[in-house]
Amino acid sequence: MPHITCQAIVLRHADYREHDRMLTLFSPTLGRVEALCRGCKKIGSPLLACSEFFAFGEYVLYTGKGRMTVTSCNLTESFYPLRSDWDKLKYATYMLSVCEAIVQPNEPNVHLFTLLARSLSRLCYQQKDTKAVTAAFLLHAAAISGYRPRLSHCVKCGRRLDEKEIRHFDSEDGGLVCPECSEMMQRLLSVSPREVHWMQEVLAIGIDKTALPADHAPAALLSAFVEERLEKPVRHKGLF
Ligand SMILES: [Zn+2]
């Protein structure tokens, strides 16, 4: 079957020859895919819109000579308003980079794909705090990838923590650390009870339903936690 039709979001593009681009696509069914998009930079090319960052559509890919080529695309959403808001654009681009580092070729990841599409949509069309949307994205991305943070017990000794004991988070083991265990450890991150409460609630009911203030979202902590697990570094200068 040389032709495959799949949903995908463009994570990255690189110029290739004069009129072409090499796209890095995230497909929920195929994982990360590198595909050549021929002629997309020519004026009036029907493939231009589907070769931009964030483009979300149904791509028809042709496999031949050991590589994939985009033959057509039915664009679902371009998330165009992200381009006119520098702050949102930076965080949305960061989400693409995190996905690129998590998703592997030939590894389907439907949940992460849905999370990315919804998170981009929230940034684009909802009046939600940009950092809180990013924090929720990171929290769910961690849970989907098998690293749901432990937010009620100490990750070292297993003891259940009282609210007033919540001070430290170990990004290596992925959870809270009690005051006794924290004395023997270095490189712990600070966390407050209200930040822990925000993570518990967003994991339970999602960011759309929580009424907790956006400034309770520990975006910097979650970026450190997720990035510790990525195989390649993700640039986030000035974001957190
Ligand atoms: Zn402990």
CA of 180 to the centre of ligand 1 (A): 6
pLDDT, residue 46, reads 94
For residue 237, what pLDDT is reported?
A: 84
Q: Does the pLDDT of residue 75 top 80, yes or no?
A: yes
Question: Do 229 and 145 meet the contact criterion of CB atoms below 8 Å apart?
Answer: yes
- Please say if the pLDDT value at position 71 is more than 90: yes
pLDDT at residue 158 is higher than 70: yes
Ligand 1 centroid distance, CA of 159 (Å): 6
18 occurs within a structural domain: yes
| Prediction pTM value | 0.96
Q: Which of 77, 95, 114 is the last residue of a domain?
A: 77
* Residue 156 placed within a domain: no
Predicted confidence (pLDDT) at residue 101 exceeds the cutoff of 90: yes
Cα 228 from Cα 147, distance rounded (Å) = 11
In a shared domain, residues 143 and 205: yes
Are 134 and 68 within one domain? Answer: no
Please report the pLDDT score of residue 235 as a whole number.
Answer: 87
Mean pLDDT of the residues in the chain = 96
* Residue 157 CA to ligand 1 centre (angstroms): 4
Asked if the structure places residue 160 within a domain, the reply is: no
- For residue 90 the two structure tokens come to 């930076």
In terms of residue numbers, what domain contains 40? 3-77
Domain count, the chain: 2
Q: Ligand 1 centre and the CA of 4: distance in Å?
A: 51
Mean pLDDT of the 218-222 span: 97
- For residues 44 and 134, membership in a common domain is answered with no
| Rounded average pLDDT over 47-51 | 96
What is the distance between the alpha carbons of residues 176 and 151, in angstroms, rounded to a whole number?
6
Element (H, E) at 30: none
Task: Indicate whether 21 belongs to any domain.
Answer: yes
Tell me the CATH number at 50.
2.40.50.140
Note the pLDDT of residue 232. 83
Asked if residue 97 is part of any domain, the answer here is no
Residue 1 has pLDDT above 70, yes or no: no
* 145 CA distance to ligand 1 middle (Å): 25
Residue 20 included in any domain: yes
Mean pLDDT of 96-112: 97
CA of 158 to the centre of ligand 1 (A): 6
Whole-angstrom distance, CA of residue 6 vs CA of residue 26: 10
User: At residue 48, does pLDDT exceed 80?
Assistant: yes
What are the pLDDT digits (tens) for 78-98? 999 999 999 999 999 999 999
Q: Where among 14, 48, 77 does a domain terminate?
A: 77
